[in-house]
């Protein structure tokens, strides 16, 4: 009797686990700049709103260390459900003064992407080296955001000179962080302005860096590790109601097997190979531009092909595709294109 009860309990547990949606094993990353009430609104999260974010994350998500989570995903190891990592670009002083003490209350790990030249120059708006050392000693991740925060892909010619310059800004920042912190940070890079093209992503891969952009979406083992997405959490994207929805999304399971994305095309073609996943409602997929205009697409032979009908404007443009999940929530894909990347002053 006791044995059979144990057996039925075991069977029940096995059945319950089998019925649960497969563990998504995905990571959503939030990107902040300023946490302050008196900085440019487009890149700022107000202090009271930031407090609301932290409360919400504390109640509903598992805030994890970015480096730890990326290493585990790359190695095919599991991370907690509802995992979220917090990142702050540019090392603004209000992250030290305001955001850090608040995150200490919640014991949340976080990452700051540092452009090292403004720190070397003693700019008053960024965190100074002695303060960065203090953060480093307390376990804050300080990672590479280039030396001079240059536009890295708005050039006339992608020649050897360009190649040397982009390698130089990445390696200088890594060297300065290593010198000032006393140990080399993990090779994880955030593109200034989130801008990259295929040539730059390949250089970052050659240099051995994981690289992050500023396009929306989550991260999984099938992600492009030199074009990882993040969800903006400042400016209009600081709104907690819309942020909650984004945090419930998972990365759309696709791969980009076709290398050369044309980098200066005003109507680029998105081609992505669909990965097996019964949870995705492929029949209810939708694609749209960053401005919200629908993009026609087709799915044929396991390949998603989409192309905008409207010309992309100069600068950063995005394709977004979303599909509902059978288990609830939805899947999200975002892909960035830059157009007319000359050294113009935009």
For Zn ion, the binding residues (CB under 5 A) are 89-90
Q: How far is the CB of 5 from Zn ion (least distance, A)?
A: 60
Instruction: Give the DSSP per-residue string, 194-242.
Output: G---HHHHHHHHHHT-EEE-SS--EE-TTS-TTSB--EE-SGGGG-HHH
Q: How far is the CB of 113 from Zn ion (least distance, A)?
A: 7
Q: Given 3-state DSSP classes, what are the helix, strand and coil percentages for the chain, each rounded to the nearest 5? A: 35, 25, 40
Residue 160 neighbours by CB distance under 10 Å: 8
Of residues 92 and 332, the one with the C-beta less far from Zn ion: 92
Q: How far is the CB of 198 from Zn ion (least distance, A)?
A: 21
Of residues 84 and 173, the one with the C-beta less far from Zn ion: 173
Q: How far is the CB of 112 from Zn ion (least distance, A)?
A: 11
Q: Please state, in angstroms and rounded to a whole number, the distance separating the CA atoms of residues 210 and 136.
A: 20
Q: Please state, in angstroms and rounded to a whole number, the distance separating the CA atoms of residues 50 and 40.
A: 15
Per the CB < 8 A criterion, the answer to whether 210 and 226 are in contact is yes
Q: How far is the CB of 234 from Zn ion (least distance, A)?
A: 12
Of residues 193 and 337, the one with the C-beta less far from Zn ion: 193
Q: How far is the CB of 150 from Zn ion (least distance, A)?
A: 10
Of residues 100 and 113, the one with the C-beta less far from Zn ion: 113
Instruction: Give the DSSP per-residue string, 105-169.
Output: HHT---EEEE-HHHHHTT-TTB--HHHHHHHHHTT-EEEE--SS---SS--S--SHHHHHHHHHH
Please name the helix (run of DSSP H) or strand (run of DSSP E) that holds residue 34, with its range, or none: strand 34-35
Closest residue to Zn ion using C-beta atoms: 89
Residue identified by tokens 């805030």 is 63
Of residues 129 and 191, the one with the C-beta less far from Zn ion: 191
Of residues 114 and 323, the one with the C-beta less far from Zn ion: 114
């Amino acid at each position: 009797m006791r044995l059979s009860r144990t057996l039925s309990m075991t069977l029940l547990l096995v059945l319950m686990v089998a019925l649960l949606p497969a563990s998504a094993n995905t990571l959503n990353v939030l990107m902040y700049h300023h946490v302050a009430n008196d900085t440019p609104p487009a890149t700022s999260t107000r202090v009271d709103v930031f407090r609301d974010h932290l409360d919400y994350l504390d109640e509903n998500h598992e805030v994890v260390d970015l480096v730890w989570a990326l290493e585990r995903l790359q190695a095919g190891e599991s991370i907690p459900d509802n995992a979220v990592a917090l990142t702050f670009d540019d090392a603004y002083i209000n992250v030290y003064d305001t955001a850090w003490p608040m995150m200490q209350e919640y014991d949340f790990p976080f990452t700051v992407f540092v452009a090292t030249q403004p720190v070397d120059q003693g700019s008053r708006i960024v965190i100074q080296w002695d303060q960065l050392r203090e953060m480093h000693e307390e376990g804050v991740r300080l990672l590479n955001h280039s030396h001079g925060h240059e536009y890295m892909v708005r050039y006339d010619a992608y020649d050897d000179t360009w190649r040397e310059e982009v390698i130089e800004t990445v390696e200088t920042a890594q060297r300065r962080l290593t010198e000032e912190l006393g140990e080399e940070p993990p090779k994880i890079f955030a593109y200034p302005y989130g801008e990259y093209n295929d040539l730059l992503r390949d250089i970052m891969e050659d240099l051995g860096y994981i690289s992050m952009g500023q396009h929306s979406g989550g991260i999984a083992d099938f992600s492009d590790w030199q074009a990882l997405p993040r969800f903006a959490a400042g400016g209009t994207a600081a709104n907690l109601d819309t942020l909650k929805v984004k945090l419930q999304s998972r990365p759309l399971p696709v791969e980009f097997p076709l290398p050369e994305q044309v980098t200066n095309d005003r109507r680029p073609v998105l081609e992505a190979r669909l990965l097996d996943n019964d949870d995705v409602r492929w029949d209810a997929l939708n694609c749209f531009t960053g401005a919200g205009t629908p993009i026609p697409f087709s799915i044929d032979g396991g390949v998603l092909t989409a192309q905008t009908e409207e010309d992309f404007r100069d600068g950063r443009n995005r394709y977004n595709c979303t599909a509902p999940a059978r288990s609830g929530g939805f899947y999200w894909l975002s892909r960035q294109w830059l157009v007319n990347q000359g050294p113009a002053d935009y």
